[in-house]
Amino acid sequence: MAKQITKKIKLQIPAGKATPAPPVGTVLGPAGINLQEFCTKFNDASKDKMGDVLPVEITIYEDRTFDFVLKTPPAAFLIKKVAGIKKGSSKGANHVVATITKDQLKQIAETKLPDLNAYTVEEAMKIVEGTARNMGVAVKGLNDKELAEQEKEAIEEEKEMAKREAELEKSMEEQASATQGEVETKEEATESQE
């Protein structure tokens, strides 16, 4: 008879660096499993991938035993690693922060293929390209010209919005000073009637 599953927990932990301290201990402590045993097994299983952040899916059984499955690093992590950046663009595709080659894109797609909803490397490349685009990372020869054009349009749009906001602020200040003048005039009229 199969063991009864009580919980499934998903975490992202740096390879070879799991410790019973937070965040691992905070999440797994209430589940009642042996934290030190999990950390030792995880670190042994992931020591060849040092430097990567690995998603792990932990299955906890009724008798407080567990199994875990290591997944491939997140596409965003791999893109940042290949592009040599610390973080993606805060404006998404409207601001290009780095460019990668088609070969680098293919390499990332091949790494991620087992965990993606794709059957071929080409399909996986499209998925990873979408992630890269949302991070502001262009792919040379694939979408770099398109993203550069989109960035120019976004900058023009930002300038236009700033101009509109300045005009709106100016008109509101004029309206406020005109209203203030009316209030003062009414107060003077009230004082003269008394």
Q: Which regions of 43-191 does DSSP assign to beta strands (E)? A: 53-61, 66-70, 98-100, 137-139
Where do runs of H (alpha helix) occur along 73-116? Answer: 75-83, 102-112
53 and 85 both lie in a single domain: no
Query: Does residue 174 form part of some domain?
Result: no
- Please, which pLDDT band fits residue 143 given cuts at 50, 70 and 90? low
93 and 143 both lie in a single domain: yes
pLDDT at 1 over 60: no
66 and 93 both lie in a single domain: no
Range from 130-134, 140-144, 182-186 that averages highest in pLDDT: 130-134
11 and 51 both lie in a single domain: yes
- For the chain, percent of residues with pLDDT exceeding 70: 87
0.85 cut: is pTM over it? no
Q: Residues 6-37: pLDDT tens digits?
A: 888 888 888 888 888 888 888 888 888 888 88
Range of the domain at 56: 5-70
pLDDT, residue 165, reads: 85
> What's 100's domain CATH number?
1.10.10.250
pLDDT at 191 over 80: no
- The identity of residue 15, as a single letter, is A
> What's 22's domain CATH number?
3.30.1550.10
Query: Does residue 96 form part of some domain?
Result: yes
Domain boundary among the residues 70, 102, 125 is at 70
Q: What is the DSSP secondary structure assignment for residue 11, as one 8-state letter?
A: E
Q: Residues 30-65: pLDDT tens digits?
A: 888 888 888 889 888 888 888 888 888 988 888 888
Domain count, the chain: 2
105 and 129 both lie in a single domain: yes
